[in-house]
Structures are given as C-alpha cells and as structure tokens.
C-alpha cells in the first residue's frame, strides 16, 4: 500500500518519503487525544486543568528526548507527531494569560518557570535514556 501511495504522490521535496508525511499527523492525533484525556482527568479529579497541561508538556518533552535521535520514521511518529500533538505550549500560554487576568500571581510565577524547568529536565532525561546524552 505504501508503494501505491508513494507511486501516486511521489516523494515530498524528493527527499522525504510520503510515509513520514503520513506518520506525523497520525502521531499528532494520538498525542492530542492523550493531552485532552490528561487535562480532563486533572480537571475532573483535582479541579486543576492547568496541572494536566503541565503534565502533558513534561511528557511531550520526555518523549522528544527519547526519540530525538531515532530513525526518521520513529522521529516523525513520536517527535513531530505524538509529542507535537501532546505538547501544549499554546494551552500553557492560555492558562498563564488566564492567571494574569485573574491576578493569580503565585500560580503565574510557579507555572512558567516550572514548566520551562521541568520540560528541559524531561528532555534531558529522555535523551539520557536513549543513550545520546551530551
């Protein structure tokens, strides 16, 4: 089937097989569903959707670290796709603006540096686990 797809569409930019172009949106869809499930679980159980967004971001960075140096197929599916769909920088930004508008300064001051620090830490741990620590 893949050969039929590549035969019909050819190669994207003569260097990227169509399979990679198809895997990224599949992974992104799965990642988006996972993000929604996490946010829903945190909103339902703890009444804190922002913590679900925070968890999704950290998991996405960890997955990116694990698959950062994988072959192109795995990277398309897991980094560009799944981690991209799970990644929630825009959702985090919306939460931060909401905290700012509601004058929840302590939440605002915890989430931004916390999200950045934990995301970098998760990325480094993921890279370390993949055997490519720098």
Q: Is 22 inside a domain boundary?
A: yes
46 lies in which domain range?
16-129
Predicted TM-score (pTM) of the model is: 0.65
Instruction: Give how many domains the chain has, as a whole number.
Output: 1
Q: Is 1 inside a domain boundary?
A: no
Mean pLDDT for the stretch of residues 101-113: 81
Q: Is 11 inside a domain boundary?
A: no
**pLDDT, greater one: 58 or 92:** 58
Residue 6 confidence (pLDDT) above 80: no
Angle at 58 between CA 125 and CA 80, to 5 degrees: 90
Yes or no: say if 74 and 63 are a contact pair by the CB < 8 Å rule: no
Q: Is 121 inside a domain boundary?
A: yes
- Rounded Cα gap, residues 56 and 31, in angstroms: 9
Lowest mean pLDDT among 55-64, 73-82, 118-127: 118-127
Q: Is 103 inside a domain boundary?
A: yes
């Amino acid at each position: 089937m893949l050969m039929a797809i590549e035969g019909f569409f050819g190669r994207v930019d003569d260097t990227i097989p169509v399979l990679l172009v198809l895997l990224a949106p599949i992974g992104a869809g799965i990642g988006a569903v996972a993000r929604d499930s996490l946010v829903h679980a945190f909103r339902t159980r703890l009444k804190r959707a922002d913590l679900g967004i925070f968890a999704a971001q950290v998991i996405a960075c960890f997955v990116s670290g694990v698959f950062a140096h994988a072959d192109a197929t795995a990277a398309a599916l897991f980094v560009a796709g799944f981690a991209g769909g799970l990644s929630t920088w825009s959702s985090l930004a919306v939460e931060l603006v909401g905290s700012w508008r509601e004058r929840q300064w302590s939440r605002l001051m915890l989430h931004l540096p916390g999200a950045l620090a934990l995301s970098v830490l998760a990325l480094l741990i993921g890279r370390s686990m993949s055997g490519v620590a720098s």
